[in-house]
Amino acid sequence: MYDETTHPPDARHHLASLLMRESLIDKQVVAATETRTPLLRMLPEAHVVKIGGRSIVDQGATALPALVTVLGEVLKTQKLILSTGGGVRTRHVFSIGIDLGLPTGVLAQLALADALGNAHILGALLSPLGVVAIPPEMFGHLLPLFLHSAPGVIFNGDPPYSLWEHPPEIGRIPPHRTDAGSYLLAECFGCANVILVKDVDGLYDADPKTHADARFIPEIGVAELRAMNLETLPFDEVLLDLLERSRLVRRFQLINGLHPERLARAIAGENVGTIIHAD
């Protein structure tokens, strides 16, 4: 830490504060910011519900209307922050973008449009309830106001990383997609729940579509899940990293939206799918 008794005042014009003159990269300084002050939960009663793109929205009338009916019931008593995935259109634009040699940040920017389109599809179905898709530019800043005025809001689940998306460990696909964006929003606002609605009952130790003996996993911690080294995960892999560093939202639940009644139970706190939690 900077010691004024041994170092003369410098030519930088500082504002007096706890972090004055400090390097925010210094490990000791960083550790000192982990104070006992409890973190504020800005929206502790809201539930974040992500509706899968490929798994639900792309299925059209076979999956979405039944889920919307349940959402309508839930919205009578609960505040919901709804988000959507980009689905097959995002997969398509990724494949074209990769073929054209475009970098990860550009792919992330392109993907925003598909999830936003799906947010508007969901918003059209929920519009009688006053639940609409909010433009991403104002969504975060005005979220508490919107949620105070309407039973729910919809956003494109993507985090606004866009050109600033991180290069992935392997290949070119943006690692922070709509599962991650939905989770990160819930973590920042201290929401009650994160529920990812897909077309599988939850997590299995193998793909149940190809392995008849796949074992269902109702609840699991991040470390144990990592140790299993599964070939695929039914959610953005980066969620495991994010959960490890979570402060407020220490778990999320994966449920099957083809059984829409499970959504109401998950929001009520029941485990009706798979709960993945920080250790």
Partner 1 sequence: MMEGMSGDLLTELGKNLVSGSLSDRDLMRQTVGPVERILPEANVVKIGGQSLIDRGRAAVFPVLDEIVANLPRHRMILGTGAGTRARHAYSVAIDLGLPTGVMSVLGTFVSMQNARMIHYLLARHGIPFIEPAQFPQLPLFLAERRAAVFFGMPPYTFWQQNPAIGRIPPHRTDTGSYLVSEVFGTRSMIYIKDEDGLYTADPKKDRHAKFIPKITVAELKAKDLGDLVVERAVLDLMERAVHQRSIRVINGLVPGNLTRALNGEDVGTLISAD
Binding to partner 1 in span 205-234, by CB under 8 A: 231-234
50, 79, 177, 262: which one contacts partner 1 (CB under 8 A)?
177
Q: For the CB of residue 90, give the shortest distance to partner 1 in the complex, in Å.
A: 9
Which residue number, 103 or 208, has a Cβ lying nearer to partner 1?
103
State in angstroms the smallest separation of the CB of 76 from partner 1: 27
- Please select the residue that binds partner 1; options are 4, 9, 76, 100, rule is CB under 8 A: 100
Residues 38-97 that bind partner 1 (CB under 8 A): 38-40, 42, 54, 58-60, 88-89, 91-92, 94-96
What is the smallest separation between the CB atom of 57 and partner 1, expressed in angstroms? 10
Residue selected from 5, 9, 24, 128 as contacting partner 1 according to rule CB under 8 A: 24
User: Which span (20-28, 44-52, 69-77, 220-228) binds partner 1, by CB under 8 A?
Assistant: 20-28
Candidate residues 4, 5, 9, 13; the one interacting with partner 1 per rule CB under 8 A: 13
Q: Which is nearer to partner 1, 74 or 256 (by Cβ)?
A: 256
CB-nearer residue toward partner 1: 74 or 108? 108
Size of the site for partner 1 (CB under 8 A): 93
The residues, ordered by sequence, that sit 6+ positions from 32 with a Cβ below 8 Å of its Cβ are 18
What is the enclosing helix (H) or strand (E) of 125?
helix 104-126
8 Å CB contact between 197 and 52 = yes
CB–CB of 131/185 below 8 Å? no
The residues in 153-172 that bind partner 1, with binding defined as CB under 8 A, are: 159-172
Choose, by CB under 8 A, the member of 45, 135, 144, 247 that binds partner 1.
247
DSSP string of 130-164, one letter each residue? T--BPPHHHHHHHHHHHHHHSSEEEEESS-TTGGG
Site for partner 1 in 184-203 (CB under 8 A): 184-185, 187-190
DSSP per residue, 92-110: HHHHHHHHTT--HHHHHHH
Q: Which of 147, 159, 71, 150 is nearest to 115 (CA)?
A: 159
Q: What is the closest distance, in whole angstroms, from the C-beta atom of residue 195 to partner 1 in the complex?
A: 18
What is d(CA 123, CA 133) in angstroms, rounded to the nearest whole number? 5
Residue 275: CB minimum distance to partner 1, A = 18
Q: Please give the Cα distance from 193 to 241 (Å, whole number).
A: 18
List the 274-277 sheet strands across, edge first: 152-156, 80-84, 47-51, 193-198, 251-256, 274-277, 219-221
- Give dist(CA 85, CA 64) in Å, integer: 13
Q: Between 117 and 156, how does the x/- string for binding to partner 1 read (CB under 8 A)?
A: --------------------x--xx-x-------------
Helix (H, G, I), strand (E, B) or coil at 277: strand
Phi and psi angles of residue 69, each rounded to the nearest 5 degrees, phi first: -60, -45
Closer CB to partner 1, 74 or 239, in the complex: 239
Choice from 52, 151, 181, 257 touching partner 1 (CB under 8 A): 181
